[in-house]
Structure 1
Amino acid sequence: MGYRIVWSGALALVTYSVITNVAFAGGIERGGYDIDRLFDTSRYVIDGGVTYVMPDRKLKNVKDVNPKNGNLNLTRPNTADETSGYAVPYFSAKIGITDDVDCMFDYSEPFGAHSDPGLNWAGANYDVEQKIRTHNYGATCSYKFDAGPGQIRLIGGGFFQEVTGYKEQLVTTLPASLSSRYDGTGTLNVSDQGWGWRAGAAYEIPEYAFRTSLVYNSQVKYDNLSGTVDLTQVPHIAGIPALSNPALGVVTPVYGSATAPDSIELKLQTGIAPDWLAFGSVKWTNWSVLQSVSFCPKSTRGKVACKPGSAVELTSLDLLYRDGWTINGGIGHKFNDQWSGAVSLTWDEGTSQGYGMQTDVWTLGVGVSYAPTQHVEFTLAGALGILTSGKSGTVVSNGVTYGDEATYSFGNDLVAAVSTSMKVKF
């Protein structure tokens, strides 16, 4: 004979919505896609929160391998702090339209990245600062119906996504006569927007706190990335080979295209004893769609293909990712009607392939939920993880060479995160 469990639902939502997404994931993932509020048993739910992540990735053994832009090995440190802390906000509202139809609307920042080692390191010709940020506005609905001892829920929805990108790097070192007026850097600023969709299904047996779901989130095509490359900090001087490029000294309108990856995620939770819950998830993300994103002058559009290695390529954002897996598992416990807690362990597979620093990440998460009344709930979660070691060097992909500006290595570094949220339901 099995046992029956009646839950308020708070514990399950703490484990999924807070614990599993508070750290430093692979690729350019930040908050990811989260629709778990759709399963809340309350008719109306409004919640919001923010996660602050503090990675401590340190680069060492940095070597400038392209001294034609100026030998930085002689003048700048061979170490750097690569990342700084960042915040990831989230907001959602769920409405039970009927007993069988639920809809939720949410704002999130599913993808993003920020590196800022600065100008004073031997790899400045590879990276001074890079930033990617997304804004995602989603609407997701479900329809549920009885099936056996539980209910099947069919899920579908769409989302509108905006992206902005920024890149700064040292183009060349300048003689003393010019360095007092120019710093030798160039910057890229681009933006675009696109649409995506999701579809999935879930099976729930509420009295046993059982739920399993499978949800697919589509790619988002950014076919009209546009912006500028600003090289006004590198003067154009005819007769000097390093400074004779006509793109120097001016701002050039550019265009490009990219794709945000699709993903599919399987989640499972079940009661294992009165007031105890086990949960887990497996997610595959198609990070390999992000290789090298080329940017070319708009004046060349329709004349020459803008692709890696093209003669008209002005700059590029090089990622060279492979697909990645994320596996999570944990245990939750309901202490009483007000307090619940959970602990989880997450493994996120590294997506770099000899270039870049996206190695495996192991994260331990702990969270607690406090409900002073039946209408209000507060959550607080923390995570501590290990960014595993590796190195970045020169690689060749599809006949194009990458990583020929700088090489470096890194050890096992720490990442910490804290997340807090508030939910109102009625």
Structure 2
Amino acid sequence: MTYRVIAMAALLGSASTLHAGGIDRSGQSITALFESGRYAEFSLGSVSPDTSGVGAGPRSAVAPTPGANSGNMTDNFFTFGAAYKADINDQLSYAIIYDQPFGADVDYPAGTGYFAQGSKAEFNSNALTGLLRYKMPNNFSVHGGIRVQTIEASAAIPFIGNYSVEGDRDTGLGYVAGVAYEKPEIALRVSLTYNSKIKYDVRTSENSVLGSNVTETKVETPQSVNLEFQTGVAADTLVFGGVRWVDWSSFEIAPNDYGRLTGGGKLLSYEDDVYTYSLGVGRRLNDTWSVAAVAGYEKSNGGFSSNLGPTDGNKSLGLAATYTRDSMKITTGIRYINIGDAETTLGGGQTAAVFEDNDAVAIGVKVGFTF
């Protein structure tokens, strides 16, 4: 039975969300490391979010524009990924994986009368991960390696002292470590992978009513743990899923002048860690086609969300199909994400805006080759 065909559909269904908690995008999957033989893949994802809110009332210092609609404040975005895996011998294999693990594209429309109109923010990252895997004779294996990652960020927030900031691109180094158990005769695999935090010292140029200043901002992209599983439950049928934990409560971007303008505020931070759950089923229809469906869930934590990320949890449903011909597999998937309602604040413990009934649609394509 070609369980690998089903697993490819499962992978795209779970990884193409591209709209997870915090600024999580890729999910940092290492699934390519478990492919058979020599393998290469390329993937492209597109996400179209619709995220808007309404100013709370009555008018006050913490709710300055009651009833004003923000308009859609999230731009469409694309992500790209690639991986190459090969065997060294019967016990050792390696993989090189490229992804864009974290990102944000915020663009509040101008002319809406909403207090954050004209505000923009962008966060980009690129990561290259090198992994080794050692298979033990008892169906267990261990894997680990290093990750080289770059980040860069910028923002313009007119309603905070006409503030803008530009963070230069910086490079950091982290590591990956994990363990897996496999039972090929029933297509069972369970893997646990830890991704370390990565530290940066970002050269930061700030402009505001305080003037123009160049400082250094310390940033740490968060540590995370991925638990992923798959198992055959009937002929040509696979159940799969996973849990991802990200330490978002330890993440912040806090430039010096922004803190002075806001009395110690952070440009971007999160109060809670995020757990992302997924569960799905895949089915091989014939030697050419397989299909999969997956559901995803992130708990809403309550409290206030950032004006640069006004979401709180989500629910999602994805569908994927894989076409196989000779050594090539082409997987396409689509996922609908219902974005959790959120409230934002400008201080004082009061609501400035309410974001409700928002959603996103993600589409992905992956092409894999075995040779």
Q: What per-residue deviation string (whole Å, max 9, x for no partner) do you get for residues 309-335 of structure 1?
A: 568989841323311111110100011
Secondary structure at the counterpart of residue 8 of structure 2? helix
194, 201, 222: which is aligned to 2:179? 201
Q: RMSD in angstroms over aligned alpha carbons? A: 2.6
Secondary structure at the counterpart of residue 137 of structure 2? strand
Q: Find out whether 1:22 has 2:16 as its counterpart.
A: yes
| Unpaired stretches in structure 1, ≥5 consecutive residues | 1-5, 173-183, 232-244, 298-307, 396-400
Tell me which residue corresponds to 2:328: 376
Secondary structure at the counterpart of residue 199 of structure 1? strand
4, 8, 11: which is aligned to 1:13? 8
Rounded to whole Å, the distance in 2 between the matches of 1:351 and 1:256 is 28
127, 133, 138: which is aligned to 1:142? 133
Gap change, CA 1:425 and 1:352, over 3 Å in 2: farther
Gap change, CA 1:163 and 1:313, over 3 Å in 2: farther
Rounded to whole Å, the distance in 1 between the matches of 2:337 and 2:191 is 27
Secondary structure at the counterpart of residue 48 of structure 1? strand
Gap change, CA 1:160 and 1:379, over 3 Å in 2: same
- The amino acid of 2:275's aligned partner reads W
Rounded to whole Å, the distance in 2 between the matches of 1:56 and 1:346 is 19
Rounded to whole Å, the distance in 2 between the matches of 1:414 and 1:276 is 30
% same residue? 23
Tell me which residue corresponds to 2:255: 295
Gap change, CA 1:8 and 1:309, over 3 Å in 2: closer
Secondary structure at the counterpart of residue 38 of structure 1? helix
Q: Find out whether 1:219 has 2:197 as its counterpart.
A: yes
- The equivalences for 1:287-366 within 5 A come to 287-291=248-252, 293-296=253-256, 316-350=266-300, 353-356=303-306, 357-366=310-319
Tell me which residue corresponds to 2:144: 156
Contact 2:42/2:367 (CA < 8 Å) preserved in 1?
Answer: yes
Gap change, CA 1:315 and 1:230, over 3 Å in 2: farther
Gap change, CA 1:383 and 1:414, over 3 Å in 2: same
Q: What per-residue deviation string (whole Å, max 9, x for no partner) do you get for residues 364-393 of structure 1?
A: 0110111121x1111100001211223222
Rounded to whole Å, the distance in 2 between the matches of 1:140 and 1:35 is 9
**Displacement, 1:61?**
2.5
Tell me which residue corresponds to 2:43: 49
Tell me which residue corresponds to 1:34: 29
Gap change, CA 1:73 and 1:408, over 3 Å in 2: closer
Gap change, CA 1:171 and 1:280, over 3 Å in 2: closer
| Unpaired stretches in structure 2, ≥5 consecutive residues | none
Secondary structure at the counterpart of residue 371 of structure 1? strand
Tell me which residue corresponds to 2:246: 285
Normalized against structure 2, the TM-score is what? 0.90
Rounded to whole Å, the distance in 1 between the matches of 2:261 and 2:344 is 26
Rounded to whole Å, the distance in 2 between the matches of 1:219 and 1:383 is 28
Larger Rg: 1
**Displacement, 1:278?**
0.6
Rounded to whole Å, the distance in 2 between the matches of 1:62 and 1:130 is 23
155, 162, 165: which is aligned to 1:188? 165
Secondary structure at the counterpart of residue 146 of structure 1? coil
Secondary structure at the counterpart of residue 305 of structure 2? coil
Rounded to whole Å, the distance in 1 between the matches of 2:346 and 2:116 is 14
Gap change, CA 1:259 and 1:366, over 3 Å in 2: same
Rounded to whole Å, the distance in 2 between the matches of 1:50 and 1:352 is 33
Gap change, CA 1:331 and 1:205, over 3 Å in 2: same
Tell me which residue corresponds to 2:205: 228
Contact 1:124/1:170 (CA < 8 Å) preserved in 2?
Answer: no
Secondary structure at the counterpart of residue 189 of structure 1? strand
Tell me which residue corresponds to 1:419: 364
Secondary structure at the counterpart of residue 99 of structure 1? coil
Tell me which residue corresponds to 2:337: 385
Tell me which residue corresponds to 2:83: 92
Rounded to whole Å, the distance in 1 between the matches of 2:133 and 2:328 is 24
Rounded to whole Å, the distance in 2 between the matches of 1:421 and 1:226 is 36
Contact 1:388/1:411 (CA < 8 Å) preserved in 2?
Answer: yes
Rounded to whole Å, the distance in 2 between the matches of 1:188 and 1:287 is 22
Contact 2:68/2:112 (CA < 8 Å) preserved in 1?
Answer: yes
Contact 1:295/1:315 (CA < 8 Å) preserved in 2?
Answer: no
99, 102, 108: which is aligned to 2:93? 102
Normalized against structure 1, the TM-score is what? 0.79
Rounded to whole Å, the distance in 1 between the matches of 2:116 and 2:195 is 36
Gap change, CA 1:49 and 1:153, over 3 Å in 2: same
**Displacement, 1:32?**
2.1
- The amino acid of 2:328's aligned partner reads V
